[in-house]
Structure 1
Amino acid sequence: MLRIQSVRAGYDRTTVLHGVTVEVPKDGVAAVLGHNGAGKSTLLRTVMGLVPASAGTVLLDGEDITRLAPHRRVARGVAYVPQGQQSFPHLTTAENLQLVADGRPDGKEAVAEALDLFPVLRELSGRRAGLLSGGQRQQLAIARALITRPRLLLLDEPTEGIQPSVVAEIEETVLALTRRGGLSVLLVEQHVGFAMRAARRYYVLEAGRVTSSGDGGAEAEGTVRAALSV
């Protein structure tokens, strides 16, 4: 679904990604792991078009999107959930979802499907997003992205600062979405257990370079932990 080939990117004169190559399987999850400052978030921002690639290519289902503006990537089926459980805090849960659904011919159906995935949001539909817990705001952020019916979902640290019970819910939702087909996920994550259970492929970044990669699955957890401890 996605191939990031020899990509270099960064900010002003500072290069953060040094020739990174990552592949996301169709209807599957690729996990990117690494310590703070390794370049993980920059990688997602580059795929989204928020950080321009100075070299290399980004291919979405065979189409070169390296130079496309972010809104054109959205139109081609890319959705991005950044770090931080972002929402419009003064709007209710329902209003946050409706903002994304407005203007979409299938908006009402898409909202209903998102609420089926995260039933707690239906219970909290009238509550302002700023009053939700961190886990509930993260569920809201993912639900908003899914309303756009993406082919590729970019998730940046979706379990950061979230209680274990909600981590399990988010993990199961991600797995259920990929099992039903039509969605691929590029997951940046520090929760190694979650990442390895979800991923078909993994990549470890260190100082903007891929230092380890392989097939995902629980059996790869030890290998990844060892790579991260170096």
Structure 2
Amino acid sequence: MLEIDDIRVGYDRSPVLHGVTVAVPKDGVAAVLGHNGAGKSTLLRAAMGLLKTAKGTVRLDGEDITRLAPHQRVARGMAYVPQGQQAFPHLTTAENLQLVADGRADGKEAIAEALDLFPALRDLSGRRAGLLSGGQRQQLAIARALITRPRLLLLDEPTEGIQPSVVAEIEETILGLTRRGGLSVLLVEQHVGFAMRAAQRYYVLEAGRVTSSGEGGAEAEQTVRAALSV
């Protein structure tokens, strides 16, 4: 679904990614792991078009989208959930969802489906997003992205700083979405166990380079932990 081929990306004149190649399987998950500062978030921002690539290509379902603007990538079925449980804090949960659904012919149905995935948000529909817990805001952020009915979902540390019970809910939702088909996921994650349960492919980044990659699955967990401990 997504092919990132030999991209080089930086901020101003400071290079961050040095020839990174990553592929996301159709209707599957590719997990990117690494320590802080390895370039994981930069990779997602480049995939979404928020950072320009100095070299390399990005293809979505075979189409070269390297020079497309972020809104053009969204129109082609990409959605991005940044790190940090982002939402509009002064709007209610319902208003945050409606804001994304406005203008969509299937907006009401899309909201209902998102709430079915995260039923806890129904009881919080009238609460301002700024008053939600971190886990609740993360569920809201993912629900907002899913309302756009993406073909490819980019998730940046979806379980960071969240209570274990909500982490389990988010894990199960993401796994369930990919099992039913029609959605591919590029997942940046520090939680190795979750990443390996979810992913068909994994990539370990270190200082802006892929230092280890292979097939996902529980049997790869020890390999990844060893790569991260170097």
Which residue in the other structure is 1:16 paired with? 16
Which residue in the other structure is 1:71 paired with? 71
Which residue in the other structure is 2:46 paired with? 46
Aligned residue type for 1:157: E
Report the CA distance between 1:100 and its aligned residue: 0.1
Question: How is 1:97-112 mapped onto 2 (pairs within 5 angstroms)?
Answer: 97-112=97-112
Report the CA distance between 1:91 and its aligned residue: 0.4
Question: How is 1:1-230 mapped onto 2 (pairs within 5 angstroms)?
Answer: 1-230=1-230
Distance, in Å, in 2 between the alignment partners of 1:26 and 1:128 is 36
Distance, in Å, in 1 between the alignment partners of 2:10 and 2:28 is 27
Aligned residues: 230
| 1:45-88 alpha-carbon deviations (Å, 9 max, x no partner) | 00000000010000000000000000000000000000000000
Report the CA distance between 1:177 and its aligned residue: 0.4
Match of 2:26, SS? coil
Structure 1 unaligned regions, length at least 5: none
Match of 1:135, SS? helix
Spell out structure 1 runs of 4+ moving beyond 3 A: none
Aligned residue type for 1:86: Q
Report the CA distance between 1:37 and its aligned residue: 0.3
TM-score, normalised with respect to structure 1: 1.00
Query: RMSD between aligned alpha carbons?
Result: 0.4
| 1:102-153 alpha-carbon deviations (Å, 9 max, x no partner) | 0000000000000000000011101000110000000000000000000000
Distance, in Å, in 1 between the alignment partners of 2:45 and 2:25 is 19
| 1:184-217 alpha-carbon deviations (Å, 9 max, x no partner) | 0000000000100000000000000000000001
Match of 2:100, SS? helix
Aligned residue type for 1:54: A
| 1:138-182 alpha-carbon deviations (Å, 9 max, x no partner) | 000000000000000000000000001111100000010001110
Match of 1:10, SS? strand
